[in-house]
Structure 1
Amino acid sequence: MEIRNVVLVHGAFADGSGWRGVHDRLTARGFRVTIVQNPLTSLADDVAATTRVLDRQDGPVILVGHSWGGTVITEAGVHPKVAGLVYVSALAPDAGETTAQQYEGFAPTPDFVIDVGADGFGFLDPELFKAGFAADTTDADAAFLRDSQVPVDMSVFGTALTNAAWRTRPSWAVIATEDRAFDQAMLRHMAKRIGATVTEVPGSHALFITQAAVVAEIIAEAAAGSVR
């Protein structure tokens, strides 16, 4: 069956509006695109938000996650409608692992600094936001992303996964070569472990915005490569 449905899942500190460029390119090619709005309050809550959208699809789906969204699609991607997974500079834990474990043994990211409040929710440091998250955006776009960021309950990174959808679904990975949120070696390690078809592209952690054309193309390739 031809795959025409795409579900996009954003990461921490962002919302779904950053997918606009990917959405517009894919809908212009005839795809039906739906964007999840994660509450970022727990892994279970974000998986529930994603599952709610998957339930509404009318056929097989390519499920796409950016950053923390990769953890979400790894857990939610066992949904029967999911035919393939696309990781956009995204995390990809295994079942039984936490997101935090993916960082162990890799270099720190000094420009990606999280300020954690007394309530356990984290925001990215505003002074370092552009350098750490959106270095290849304009100053105006980086400022808007900084000022509209969505805090994440930091406990999500210590929550172990129950599922690893990449074990039963074909996977693709788009890696930004100037991503300062993750060590490049970490991104490559995760992509290799899950057996993803990898595309590397110049860009910051905000590549889902700044490299929307490449991301949309890989999603289209995943749809063609996951026909079932």
Structure 2
Amino acid sequence: MHGPTAVPPTVVLVHGAFTDASCWSGVIGHLRAAGLAVAAPVNPLRGLTHDAACLQALLDRTVGPVVLVGHGYGGAVITQAAACDGVLALCYVAAFGLDVGECVQDVLCRFTPTVMADATVTVADRDGLRIRAERFAQVYGEDLPPRAARLLAAAQPPLAENALTERSGRPGWAWTPSWYAVATADRMLNPSAQRFMAQRMTATEHVLDASHAVVLSQPEAVAAMIQEAVAQGMARDDDHRPAPAG
């Protein structure tokens, strides 16, 4: 990342497993209506090291500061990619905020299993994990219209199995102000696990009555949290910016 600090931040939205960047469409609309620059890159879902490197490459090409937002597995990606200058804030949306040496599977095993545990399968060509189509709405988004859930189930990209077991590096939340949207009706990532991670990173919590598909079912609430992070991040940046000479 490079460029003058006076440049307004870009909000970078990183999607999680079993979906693609289109899941952010509603959130993007609200953020752009508020005058914010937004990027929603493809998260390859090939493993934490690979996916974080792809995000870091994008950040290196971005002029000015950023606010990183991760949904689900995307939270693990922003946690690792945030170890660079220019990240004003981190926003987690029902997401994995891993600690150093921790993996996604560690968090999943630490709390009561959700229905996701018996609803994923390895696809025939072994390119990764998907949620069984007939279970997708129940597991991923019970608060979505049935047609939307069916379309998501049909279009879901595979998640590499090693994405669950690769261990995280230094967590960006250890030195970066963080926000966390807890989805209380999440049936993929236990809400108790979400609260644990939010409290561990001393994040500003927003509690939403939503499924794991919260970015689709409550885009306005998610966007409001991100706008709060942007505003506070910019204010903090101004406070620490050197006064002009003379």
TM-score range with shorter-chain normalisation? Answer: over 0.9
Structure with higher helix content: 2
Letter in 2 for 1:133: Y
Give the aligned partner of residue 90 of structure 1: 95
Give the aligned partner of residue 176 of structure 2: 169
Q: Give the unaligned 5+ runs of structure 2.
A: 1-5, 238-246
Match of 1:136 among 137, 143, 159: 143
CA distance, structure 1, for counterparts of residue 61 and residue 26 of structure 2: 23
Aligned partners of 2:127 and 2:158 also within 8 Å: no
The SS at the match of 1:36 is coil
CA distance, structure 2, for counterparts of residue 129 and residue 105 of structure 1: 23
Give the aligned partner of residue 114 of structure 1: 120
Identity of aligned residues (%): 36
The SS at the match of 1:84 is strand
TM-score by length of 1: 0.96
The verdict on how the C-alpha distance between 1:164 and 1:201 changes in structure 2, with shifts beyond 3 A counting, is same
Shift of 1:111: 4.8
The SS at the match of 1:65 is strand
- Tell me how large the CA RMSD over aligned residues is: 1.4
Q: Deviations over 1:24-64 (max 9, x none)?
A: 11011111000010111121221122112212322111100
Q: Give the unaligned 5+ runs of structure 1.
A: none
Give the aligned partner of residue 210 of structure 1: 217
Give the aligned partner of residue 3 of structure 2: none
Shift of 1:3: 4.0
Shift of 1:4: 3.2
Q: Deviations over 1:42-97 (max 9, x none)?
A: 21221122112212322111100000000000000112121100000000111111
Give the aligned partner of residue 27 of structure 1: 32
TM-score by length of 2: 0.89
Give the aligned partner of residue 12 of structure 1: 17
CA distance, structure 2, for counterparts of residue 105 and residue 5 of structure 1: 34
Shift of 1:104: 2.7
Of 46-55 and 113-122, deviating more is 113-122
Q: Deviations over 1:90-118 (max 9, x none)?
A: 00111111121112331111255211246
Give the aligned partner of residue 240 of structure 2: none
Letter in 1 for 2:108: Y
Give the aligned partner of residue 157 of structure 1: 164
Match of 2:59 among 47, 54, 62: 54
Give the aligned partner of residue 204 of structure 2: 197
Shift of 1:156: 1.2
2:85 paired with 1:80? yes
CA distance, structure 1, for counterparts of residue 66 and residue 55 of structure 2: 12
Aligned partners of 1:2 and 1:224 also within 8 Å: no
Aligned partners of 2:49 and 2:166 also within 8 Å: no
CA distance, structure 1, for counterparts of residue 46 and residue 175 of structure 2: 27
